[in-house]
Structure 1
Amino acid sequence: MQAGRLRHKVTIQNFTTTRLPSGQPQSEWVDGMTVWAEVKGISSRELMTSGVEKPEATIRVWIRYRTDVTAASRLKCVTGPFKGKILDVTGEPIPDAKATQLEILCKQGVKT
């Protein structure tokens, strides 16, 4: 893996449920590690939903291999062209043959 390609930072977020002191469950996104990544847009499109155009982008993210990123995770871009955007992971991250890096396909925009 070429370290020079990893020039953006992303924060891995996982959805967790905790109990408040009152016993009430509280669900929220919890920030995990902030890691270096390569974030590139692949494609975009506009969808008509209820008579309103909504944009959707497919984004490919490469990071060093980790086990805490799953299909239920999401990524928050800290730097780079998507700074401040939340990327929803669309499928299980795919490791390369040597398990040194992960390819993560994400969607940004329309929620399905």
Structure 2
Amino acid sequence: MQFGKLNKRITIQRADKKEDINGITKAGWYDLKTIWCSMNGLSGKEYWTAKSYNAENTVVFIIRYGSCKDLTVKDRIIYKGRAFNIVHVDNVLYKNETLKIKATEVI
């Protein structure tokens, strides 16, 4: 992976409950990290598999492994104001260098 291709900024959000100044607990999405990534749409077999699940707005994000090691499918990604639910996180070849994240856009 050429890390120079990580030229898009995304924000990782995590669902959490936080207490406000009045002591009221509120659940919501909270920013975890803003990191660099590369992104592209699906092609070939991956595209048709996603289409069979009606996940037409499926995108693959690639980030450095160390940027967010604890990323899970319970988190989500924000890119240019658009939210993407994470479907799958892959530690590419188990080398601990890059994470390949498959995500679908929230419509």
TM-score tier after normalising by the smaller chain length: 0.7 to 0.9
Unaligned runs of 5+ in 1: 48-53, 78-82
Identity score, percent? 27
1:1-57 deviation per Cα after TM superposition (whole angstroms, max 9, x unaligned): 311221111111001102234443200111121111011111475x9xxxxxx9831
Match of 1:89 in 2: 86
Give the structure with the larger helix fraction: 2
Unaligned runs of 5+ in 2: none
Matches within 5 A, 1:67-106: 67-77=69-79, 83-91=80-88, 93-96=89-92, 97-106=94-103
| Aligned alpha-carbon RMSD (Å) | 2.3
Counterpart amino acid of 2:76?
A: R
- The structural deviation recorded for 1:69 is 1.3
Give the structure with the larger strand fraction: 1
Matches within 5 A, 1:33-112: 33-42=33-42, 43=47, 45=51, 56-65=56-65, 66-77=68-79, 83-91=80-88, 93-96=89-92, 97-110=94-107
